[in-house]
Amino acid sequence: MDSAPLIRDEEVFLRMNLAERIQHWLLISTFFFLIVTGLPLFFYDVKFFKLLLPTGRSFYVRGIIHRVAAVLMIANLVWHLFYAALTRRGRDNFKEMLPRWKDVKDAIELFGYNVGLTRFLQRRGIGKKFFQKHPYWLFEKHPLYGRYNFVEKFEYWALGWGSLVMIFSGFFMWNVELSLRLFPLWVHDIFIIIHGYEAILAFLAVIIWHMYNVHLSPEVFPMSKVWLTGKITGQELRLLHPLEYEQVLEERRKTLSAEAL
Amino acid sequence: MTGDKTRRSLPLIMAAVLFVSLSLSASAQSDEDCLTCHGDRDLKSEAGKPLFVDQAMSQGSIHGQAGISCLDCHADLQKVKGFPHESPLKPVSCGQCHETALQQFDRSVHQAANEKGTSGITVGCKDCHGTHEIKPKDDFDSPTFAINLPATCERCHLEKVPSKKGTGFIGGYNQSAHFKALEKSGLTMSANCSHCHGAHEIKSVDDPLSLVSRKNIIKTCGTCHVGIQRGYLDSVHGKDFVKGIKDVPVCTDCHSEHEILSPEDINSKVYSTKVALVCSRCHDDIALGRQYGFLTSRLKTYNESFHGTAARFGETRVANCASCHGFHDIRASSDPKSSINKENLPATCGRCHPGASRHFAEGRIHSTPEQIDTAKYRTSHVVKSVYIFIIAAIIAVMLVFIAADFLRRVLRKEKHG
């Protein structure tokens, strides 16, 4: 057994299959176009957008691109929902994505581990008794993740919630007459505010949170290639998704012992 | 009108002139006598000034056709016996016959400038009307013919006599809708200089008697734009204008003065995407708002709306100030006849949004939160504040998380090499 490890570091695992990657590519491109064609409305005074949309005609085309991108993004979302419901892999991934109490703990533990304040206090001899009794609060170990860590789960569900809000408010902004047949003007005003600020939140979250985790983080810098190839190595699986690694290992041990019998 | 009066008295004047010239004919020279010298194309004074008088032109002039001879105007020659006569002659006094015109001219800004003498330029009848070749103002070739008049005035007013408002100010007329109608379409009723400023009696704009003074401009523009004048006088602006409130906009405040363009012209100040800038000059002025009790922050709140944002990017098919508020006949929202009165809003919005219902009136179109009286109409502003707080909090947490993560990784790398 020791001579041939069950998971070699060079072994290739499929993290994102083609369908998942296409969904991600579609999401990136529609998100990009929605942001570029939407932000000018929010930052109408910024020179750059004035250069981007020099005429009333281009402003009109901007609106069309925005709506086409929106429809494509919704179609992508519907595809993803069917995919998550109707395929085995989709269902498995979706189950893995479900938020658990562990994710909250992971977030706290990671932050505590990164900051290291409690370890610092302990070294200084502060709260010795407390830490002897509750060594958990020293956060001496990095939390261990399964297939999806709390960062990825947060992104996934933020995207889901954000999409709902944007689709709902955007639909009524697209159909002003319908909206104002159903709601008074002050409600329609809320849709407009929500659509704009939710977009800003999504944009900032992606730029800051997602870009750090998949590009700038020293772990993956300059870029994680999973979104292109869909593959990760056995080593990456062991380091980044230790619980999933353990699971695979366990399964292989079982098959091996079953074979041996 | 002065022209009519002069024309009516013309036969009388002509008879008098004829009588005088007949009685003097024994001693005085005939036109032919004058032309023996002045018919020579090369005749020049010692100073080099050409002294040629084109017989065809002077006889073709209105004076020539009426039989007015050289000496009738150059009256000081009547007593001269020896020729060639002394020069220069006295300036011709047109007022001998054209009394009213002269009286008006004497009270004009032109005459005032002549008397002041600071500009170094004097202006008299001949500078606008010409001399020997003088034509009536309805003659196509007359310098005072409606289509030719702008060029005549601009001989001085384009460069030589600068306006207080800058050099391009008067030349702006040449870009105007009025000039286009005049020059391109030959519409002689389209406003030229004298339609607005008057002719002989022309006054400085600061003179309350001037046709273009704030007091008179509505009436002056209304001479042609009658329907607009009526609408304006019914409007909230017009009513205050009649009361004599000086801050109220008159025609020229929105449409500019010389360079008046059609509202469809992209360079017009009242072009659909630009009119907001015109209105907000007063309607965003906090001092004026306080004095007259209207809401400010109009431009900002309009710009924030889809209508305003789109207009800023040059989209013309969105509502501008005038689309909802009207323009000449603009009224306060409390006025039942106002297009933005609560009762009329569905109809007003419905012009662009078919089927607009009462819901369109249940909210505030452009108001800052402090300006909104009904609590629920303020909800979107509350939502906005909540969002700003949430965004700031989430982004702050993210940044702290990232900073901690980044530092730990860098530290670990240093430790383990």
Beta bridge partners of A13: A232
Question: Which chain A residues have a beta carbon less than 8 Å from that of B410?
Answer: 218
Which of B113, B213, B197, B200 is CA-nearest to residue B162?
A: B113
Interface test with B, best of A185, A197, A219 (most B CBs within 10 A): A185
Residues A89 and A42 in one domain: yes
Residues A28 and A79 in one domain: yes
Rounded to the nearest angstrom, the minimum Cα separation between A107 and chain B is 9
Cα–Cα dist B221/B227, whole Å: 11
Domain ranges of chain B: 1-90, 228-373, 384-417
Does residue A249 fall inside a structural domain? yes
Provide the CA A99 distance to its chain's centre, in angstroms.
Answer: 13
Range of the domain at A60: 17-97
Compute the CA torsion angle B236, B241, B242, B243 (nearest 10 deg): 90
Q: Is B363 on the interface with A (CB under 8 A)?
A: yes
- DSSP code string of B216-284: THHHHHHTT-HHHHHHHHHSHHHHHHHTT-TTS--HHHHH-SS----TTSTTSTTSTTTHHHHHHHHHT
Question: Where a domain ends, among A45, A63, A97?
Answer: A97
Kindly list the distances between the CA atom of residue A140 and the CA atoms of A119, A130, B94, in Å, as whole numbers in the listed order: 8, 15, 110
- Tens of pLDDT, residues A42-78: 999 999 999 999 999 999 999 999 999 999 999 999 9
Of B313, B379, B402, the CB nearest to A59: B313
What's the total number of domains in chain A? 2
Cα–Cα dist B170/B403, whole Å: 64
Q: Are B225 and B178 in contact (CB under 8 A)?
A: no
| Token representation of residue B312 | 């800023």
Q: Is B389 on the interface with A (CB under 8 A)?
A: no
Q: Do B359 and A60 touch (CB under 8 A)?
A: no
Does residue A149 fall inside a structural domain? no
How many other CB atoms sit within 10 Å of the CB of residue B406? 15
Cα–Cα dist B240/B261, whole Å: 26
- Tens of pLDDT, residues A110-162: 999 999 899 899 889 888 889 889 988 999 889 999 999 999 999 999 999 99
Rounded to the nearest angstrom, the minimum Cα separation between A261 and chain B is 44
Beta bridge partners of A232: A13
Give B163 or A241, the one with higher predicted confidence: A241
Question: Where a domain ends, among A97, A117, A137?
Answer: A97
The predicted pLDDT at position B14 comes to 58
CB pairs < 8 Å spanning A and B: 128
Cα–Cα dist B245/B215, whole Å: 10
The predicted pLDDT at position B3 comes to 47
Residues A12 and A53 in one domain: no
The predicted pLDDT at position B83 comes to 75
Q: Supply φ then ψ for residue A222, to 5 degrees.
A: -80, -20
What ipTM describes this predicted complex?
Answer: 0.91
Residues A89 and A35 in one domain: yes
Residues A63 and A7 in one domain: no
Q: Identify the helix (H) or strand (E) that includes residue B17.
A: helix B10-24
CA torsion sign, A17 to A19 to A22 to A28? negative
Q: Are B345 and A184 in contact (CB under 8 A)?
A: no
Q: Are B192 and B146 in contact (CB under 8 A)?
A: yes
- Tens of pLDDT, residues A189-239: 999 999 999 999 999 999 999 999 888 887 788 888 889 999 999 999 998
| Token representation of residue B357 | 């219902």
Q: Which residues of chain B have pLDDT under 70?
A: 1-28, 415-417
Cα–Cα dist A138/A115, whole Å: 11
The predicted pLDDT at position B200 comes to 95
Residues A10 and A64 in one domain: no
Rounded to the nearest angstrom, the minimum Cα separation between A139 and chain B is 13
R_g (Cα) of chain A, nearest Å: 24
Q: Identify the helix (H) or strand (E) that includes residue A180.
A: helix A176-182
Interface test with A, best of B277, B342, B380, B397 (most A CBs within 10 A): B380
Does residue A79 fall inside a structural domain? yes
The predicted model gives A174-190 an average pLDDT of 95
Which of B77, B378, B348, B69 is CA-nearest to residue A189?
A: B378
Question: Which chain A residues have a beta carbon less than 8 Å from that of B388?
Answer: 197
Does residue A105 fall inside a structural domain? no
The predicted pLDDT at position B414 comes to 74
Q: Do A189 and B363 touch (CB under 8 A)?
A: yes
- DSSP code string of A60-82: HHHHHHHHHHHHHHHHHHHHHHH
The predicted pLDDT at position B12 comes to 61
